Amino acid sequence: MSTQTTVLAGAPIKAMKSSMVGTWVSLAPEVRPSKNPDGTIKAFYLARTFVYHADDSFELTVTNFADPNGNVPVAKIELAGHMTWNGGHPIAPGAQKVDFVADTAYALTPLAQPFVDLLSKVAKDGYAKWELGKTQSVFGKNFAVFGLTADQNFKEYDLIYMKHDLLFWGARNVDGRGFDKEENRPTNLQIPMERKP
């Protein structure tokens, strides 16, 4: 049995972390349930690039799309921070409960004019004029569009699982709830990311 297979079968966390170091990307555009302002569920399409470092720091870039094929980008979100490992998760042997905290950076780049127009109406205070393709930091600021407040870093209660050199996180709750508290931690696996060569 190879070292990689041993790691994926539930070897110690130290070995799992070591095998995770590097860059991971979405296999294809992904879909998530999210909520409209009136509480109804809508589809949210995205692609992820995730970089994990040996010191438990991470970088995550999420590109949001208007369409399921990923042809019409709407926004790029860039986060950086640290991960906390909290023990095993029952979804699969070797899965781990992990918290992601964006305590280093959180930035947004609008990539579609309708999104620029929306931001210009709802995110004016504390921000420069929103422009197409121009990145602004929302780190440490109030940003109601994403539910961010100036006094609290963005945090998600998630999970990590590896198998066949694919990296899985938790699937979003089908009712659109975020992973904003322990009781909302995911109970299923999301489509995985593959290692970027």
Strand locations in the chain (E)? 22-26, 30-35, 41-52, 57-65, 73-88, 96-110, 136-137, 154-163, 166-169, 193-195
Q: State how far the Cα of 122 lies from the Cα of 164, in Å rounded to an integer.
A: 44
Averaged over 74-102, what is the pLDDT?
A: 96
Q: Answer whether residue 78 shows pLDDT above 80.
A: yes
Helices (H) and strands (E) in the chain, counts: 3, 10
Report pLDDT for 194. Answer: 98
Is 32 within 8 Å of 186 (Cβ atoms)?
no
Q: Answer whether residue 146 shows pLDDT above 80.
A: yes
Looking at the chain, the whole-number percentage of residues with pLDDT higher than 90 is 73
